[in-house]
């Protein structure tokens, strides 16, 4: 089984794929707003602190686990400690749910890319988006009819993901990222260069980066910084362990983690400059303060920016096409990494052929995603995304840190990564994994839960939250426990115990 495992063609290919997975929609539409909302330039203090005390240490942890135990997340966890195999399946199941709604957002972006050429959203992008395009119903339980333009886009997204993952790690995922990631960065550079030369751009940038030092003392600002670093690096999603398992045995793990962390961070800053320069222009052209045009998430991408592109004339058409192409490319690299995280886990467990597994996942995923191509799609996305991020991913990250920090022992992973890396990490990493990361993630989890109890998320009622929120978390846990009871094909765990890898450790 070991000899048949796919491998990256080069270290650059791995780094590009890891960065491609990390760079997603959150970098473009979430990070700029977080900086603005949480103290501007002052937010960079908790943000960089979070990168060094959670982002990079957890990347080293996940890269080290995948590389040392040569398997997808469930196999790596099972080889490290059989009792914790289920913890590897939970993020794989969550990844599948994320694909359901992520493919819908990509479908929107594809449609808006085509609309950019004629500014087909009209003079009222808000009404167009909610009423004409999404045909949003009045409740998450009212699905309305099937929305064909969205469904066609979802089919396209799954088709591309299938084509790339079907071709394997080196022939598919690596090639895709070598093309899409540099293209994505080039497009964002063009948007930024044009953005900062617009009238009023400095107004937006001043609003973004002017430090409000009083905010640094607020706990919620630190939670926001850790949350952003955690989510944007694709941690605890089953992706990074899987990707690192395809690396050759002699690979600089430590350096790769730093490179991935800083590349993702650099792209976030690039996006923030471009977004706020354009928002500054919008505020100036309308004669309103920047606060009135600032938005985050879906509202920024599909309502605020189309308004900007409408008033920009021919440059609006160009920037509109580039912006939505950016969303599509950033989303596709993340989508492919999620499909691979699920596929690799199933291939390792069952020994089935990659092509059959990828085909099965994409067909099943397409059927599940079809639910989102309805009038209730936005509600489903909103509730599921909140619960998977706030509970699923945070709990997996917390348990990963506890299991590796206190049961498997961090020095086991540190010694392994140091053996293959140009520069060694010291015992500070052990301390971070054992104490700092679990403490922060536990605090995030408790504060999310307390907020949820006080005020149910998004003003939804309890049946809606249980149907699309807590049920997804429950399915993740129950599903992972049930799958972990099944035996591994080809005795994957037993065969590894006698491998050269562990013999080296004993010596």
Per-residue pLDDT reduced to its tens digit, 230-286: 889 999 999 999 999 999 988 999 999 999 999 999 999 999 999 999 999 999 999
- 359 CB burial (10 A radius; 0-12, 13-18, 19+): middle
Which residues 6+ apart lie within 8 Å of 192 measured at CB? 270, 273, 274, 277
- List phi, psi (to 5°) of 79: -70, -30
Provide the angle, in degrees to the nearest 10, between the axes of the packed helices 11-22 and 314-350. Answer: 110
Query: How confident is residue 490, by pLDDT bands cut at 50, 70 and 90?
Result: confident
213 pLDDT band (50/70/90 cuts)? very high
> How far apart are the C-alpha atoms of 403 and 407, rounded to whole Å?
5
**Mind listing the pLDDT tens digit for each residue in 389-445?**
989 999 999 999 999 999 999 999 999 999 999 989 999 999 999 999 999 999 999
495 or 66, higher pLDDT = 66
Nearest to 141 by CA among 453, 377, 469: 377
Instruction: Look at residue 250 in the predicted model and tell me its pLDDT.
Output: 87
Average pLDDT over the chain reads 92
253-286 helix and 11-22 helix, angle to the nearest 10 degrees? 40
Per-residue pLDDT, averaged over 456-478, amounts to 95
pLDDT the model gives residue 496: 67
pLDDT for residue 504: 42
Higher pLDDT, 267 or 219: 267
Position 203 confidence tier, pLDDT thresholds 50, 70, 90: very high
Residue 489 has pLDDT above 70, yes or no: yes
Walk me through the domains of the chain, giving residue ranges and CATH numbers: 11-494 (1.20.1740.10)
Maximal C-alpha separation, the chain: 71
CA-closest candidate to residue 114, choices 316, 321, 323, 304: 321
Q: What are phi and psi of 374, to 5 degrees?
A: -135, 175
Question: By C-alpha distance, which of 342, 358, 496 is closest to 1?
Answer: 496
User: Is the pLDDT assigned to residue 355 strictly greater than 50?
Assistant: yes
- Whole-number pLDDT of residue 502: 41
Residue 11 structure tokens: 């270290």
Q: How far is CA 3 from CA 50, 53, 235, 499, in A?
A: 38, 36, 27, 12
For residue 378, pLDDT over 80 is answered with yes
Here the tokens at position 70 are 């040569």
Cα angle: 491, vertex 7, 493; to 5 degrees? 15
Q: By C-alpha distance, which of 118, 192, 207, 114 is closest to 153?
A: 114
Mean pLDDT on 182-205: 95
For residue 116, give the 3-state DSSP assignment.
Answer: helix
Q: Which DSSP state fits 468?
A: I
Taking each continuous run of H as one helix and of E as one strand, the counts in the chain are 27, 0
- pLDDT value for 295: 85
Rounded (5°) CA angle 167-169-174:
100
Q: Taking the complete model, does pTM exceed 0.75, yes or no? A: yes
pLDDT at 238: 94
Q: Can you give the pLDDT at residue 297?
A: 86
Q: What is the pLDDT of residues 65-111, one digit of tens each?
A: 999 999 999 999 999 999 999 999 999 999 999 999 999 999 999 99
Cβ count near 224 (within 10 Å):
23
Q: What is the distance between the alpha carbons of residues 394 and 400, in angstroms, rounded to a whole number?
A: 10
Using alpha carbons, select from 447, 70, 95, 92 the residue that is nearest to residue 244.
70
Whole-number Å distance between alpha carbons of 363 and 99: 12
3-state secondary structure 431-450: HHHHHHHHHHHHHHHHHHHH
* CA–CA gap between residue 84 and residue 86 (Å, rounded): 5
Mean pLDDT of 306-313: 92
CA atoms within 13 A on the CB side of 321: 8
């Amino acid at each position: 089984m070991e000899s048949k495992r796919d491998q990256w063609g080069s270290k650059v290919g791995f780094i590009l794929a890891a960065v491609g997975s990390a760079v997603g929609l959150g970098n473009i539409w979430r990070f700029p707003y977080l900086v603005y909302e949480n103290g501007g330039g002052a937010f960079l203090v908790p943000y960089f602190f979070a990168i060094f005390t959670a982002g990079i240490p957890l990347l080293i942890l996940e890269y080290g686990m995948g590389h040392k135990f040569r398997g997808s997340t469930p196999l790596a966890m099972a080889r490290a400690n059989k009792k914790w195999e289920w913890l590897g399946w939970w993020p794989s199941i969550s990844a599948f749910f994320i694909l359901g709604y992520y493919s819908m957002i990509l479908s929107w972006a594809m449609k808006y890319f085509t609309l950019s050429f004629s500014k087909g959203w009209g003079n009222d992008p808000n009404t167009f988006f909610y009423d004409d395009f999404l045909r949003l119903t009045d409740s998450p339980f009212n699905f309305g009819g099937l929305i064909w333009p969205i469904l066609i886009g979802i089919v396209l997204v799954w088709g591309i993901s299938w084509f790339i993952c079907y071709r394997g790690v080196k022939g598919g995922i690596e090639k895709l990222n070598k093309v899409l990631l540099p293209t994505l960065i080039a497009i964002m550079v063009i948007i930024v260069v044009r953005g900062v030369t617009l009238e009023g751009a400095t107004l937006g940038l001043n609003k973004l980066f002017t430090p409000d030092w009083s905010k640094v003392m607020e706990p919620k600002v630190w939670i926001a910084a850790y949350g952003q670093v955690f989510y944007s690096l694709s941690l605890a999603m089953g992706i990074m362990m899987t990707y690192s398992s395809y690396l050759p045995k002699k690979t600089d793990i430590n350096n790769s983690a730093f490179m991935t962390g800083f590349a993702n961070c650099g792209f976030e800053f690039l996006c923030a400059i471009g977004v706020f320069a354009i928002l500054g222009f919008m505020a100036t052209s309308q004669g309103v303060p920047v606060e009135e045009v600032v938005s985050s998430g879906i509202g920024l991408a599909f309502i605020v920016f189309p308004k900007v592109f409408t008033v920009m004339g021919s440059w609006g058409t160009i920037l509109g096409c580039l912006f939505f192409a950016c969303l599509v490319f950033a989303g596709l690299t993340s989508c492919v990494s999620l499909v691979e995280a699920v596929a690799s886990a199933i291939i390792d467990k069952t020994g089935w052929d990659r092509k059959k597994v990828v085909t099965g996942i994409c067909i099943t995923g397409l059927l599940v995603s079809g639910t989102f191509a309805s009038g209730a799609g936005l509600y489903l996305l909103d509730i599921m995304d909140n619960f998977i991020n706030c509970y699923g991913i945070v709990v997996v990250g917390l348990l990963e840190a506890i299991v590796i920090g206190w049961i498997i022992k961090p020095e086991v992973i540190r010694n392994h990564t140091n053996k293959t890396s140009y520069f060694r990490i010291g015992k500070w990493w052990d301390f971070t994994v054992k104490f700092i990361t679990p403490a922060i993630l536990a605090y995030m989890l408790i504060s999310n839960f307390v907020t949820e109890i006080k005020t149910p998320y998004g003003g939804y009622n309890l049946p809606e939250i249980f149907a699309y929120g807590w049920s997804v978390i429950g399915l993740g846990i129950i599903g992972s426990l049930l799958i972990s009871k099944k035996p591994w094909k080809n005795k994957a765990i037993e065969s590894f115990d006698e491998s050269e890898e562990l013999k080296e450790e004993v010596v």
